[in-house]
Structure 1
Amino acid sequence: MDKERILAKYVPAEAAPIVARWIDYFKCDFKVSKGRNTKFGDYRPPYNGDNHRISVNYNLNPYAFLVTTVHEFAHLQTWNEYKGGARPHGLEWKLNFKKMMRPFFEKEVFPADLKHAINSYLENPAASSCSDLNLFRALKRYDQQSQGVAVESLAMKTVFMLKDGRTFRKDELVRKRFKCMEINTRRIYLFSPLAEVFPVSGD
């Protein structure tokens, strides 16, 4: 099937040819994955004769999908250069991430506000784009309208629901994340301040 045509459903159209070339050049198995709460994308190196494998969540907006895709291809390039001898998000990966973002800046793929946020992030990229709140907020502005709200906007002790139906209570801020208790299991989870949730009670 036409990679560019398929990719254009998930990334900005002008970015699709570049990503398609990367998939072919690096002999990468590229998968559009189901939505995952814990990560936007994933990279697996080519062990036991397998190709490089990258997966990116299907439910990201086009700009978030592209940023995540570049993030994972930077892992691939770093693995090719160092064969596992570099730290996962060390200097080598950061340099590759910056380099691989360059063609999308040259094509003016990103709106001005996102370009500014990405440039700030690129000064010292974190392990995940969603761990940089400034970039994550900028990317979230391009999501389709939703009835959900950010965890940070809820009052403490508010009960909320995830899309999968599980319910939690917002308890306290721990460093940069909110400690929340799952109602049914009483297990504690840490949520990003910008995680999308659905309030069900103000108690």
Structure 2
Amino acid sequence: MIDQKISVLSKYIPPEAANLIAKWIDFYRCEFKISKSRNTKFGDYRPPQNGKGHRISVNHNLNPYAFLVTAVHEFAHLVTWKEFEQKAKPHGNEWKTNFKRMMQPFFEFEVFPIEIRKVITNYLENPSASSCSDIDLFRALSSYDKKDPNIIHVDKVPDNHRFAMKNGKVFRKMNKIRKRFRCIEVKSGAIYLFSPIAEVYLMKDE
């Protein structure tokens, strides 16, 4: 059975990492699901409840390095829950300690390109709730995505220029407020704050 898990996982993460992730799945008796794409999260962990055991899901469309970092992130939640259950905060010091520890073998396996390894090392100094929350890590991981060449990040949109979201809504980029960009929806005039790494389509302005 573990050979089958390794075979499947090798399609989504670097083959050198698949063996350990497969062992974790068996050791923790975890239901590991490769999920459809979700805009709000890369992965998810759910503790045992209603007769079900530990459950982890990771989006299928992540590149191998993003998939692996997300999987380790969620397994760190599993281990933290086993140790502390509800007594530990979801992304508190206990989770941070486990996440750092569980990332170490993959450095030893040398599965990450050097530029990603450097950024992950910096990120592990104080890991946040999501790899998306750390702009440097998000950029390093997303640089390996297969992307539509017409998509850019909001921070690359020129000031006062229009851009469109995937849902078709059109905005004009205004000024930066702390870490986010203030943008106005052209149709309604409503103001929204965008993350600098939000993916949008640049439009030809008037």
> Distance in 2 between the 1:188 and 1:52 partners?
41
Q: 2:173 aligns with which of 158, 170, 187?
A: 170
> Distance in 1 between the 2:186 and 2:33 partners?
34
Residue 200 to residue 60, structure 1, CA distance change in 2 (3 Å): same
**Retained in 2: the 8 A contact 1:157–1:202?**
no
Partner of 1:29: 31
> Distance in 2 between the 1:23 and 1:97 partners?
16
What are structure 2's unaligned runs of at least 5 residues?
none
Query: Which residue identity is paired with 1:174?
Result: I
**Retained in 2: the 8 A contact 1:151–1:195?**
yes
User: Which stretch of the first structure deviates more once superposed, 188-197 or 106-115?
Assistant: 188-197
Residue 194 to residue 97, structure 1, CA distance change in 2 (3 Å): same
> Distance in 1 between the 2:56 and 2:185 partners?
31
Look up the SS of the partner of 1:49 in the other structure. Answer: coil
Aligned-pair CA distance for 1:25:
1.2
Q: Counterparts in 2 of 1:88-167, with a 5 A limit?
A: 88-147=90-149, 148-167=151-170
Aligned-pair CA distance for 1:38:
2.0
What are structure 1's unaligned runs of at least 5 residues?
none
Aligned-pair CA distance for 1:146:
2.8
Q: Counterparts in 2 of 1:42-81, with a 5 A limit?
A: 42-81=44-83
Aligned-pair CA distance for 1:36:
2.1
Residue 58 to residue 179, structure 1, CA distance change in 2 (3 Å): farther
Q: How many residues matched?
A: 203
> Distance in 2 between the 1:185 and 1:32 partners?
38
**Structure 1 vs Structure 2: percent identity of aligned residues?**
58
Look up the SS of the partner of 2:45 in the other structure. Answer: strand
Look up the SS of the partner of 1:149 in the other structure. Answer: strand
Aligned-pair CA distance for 1:107:
0.5
Structure 1 residues 66-87: Cα deviation after superposition (integer angstroms, max 9, x where no partner): 1111111111110110011101
Query: Which residue identity is paired with 1:194?
Result: I
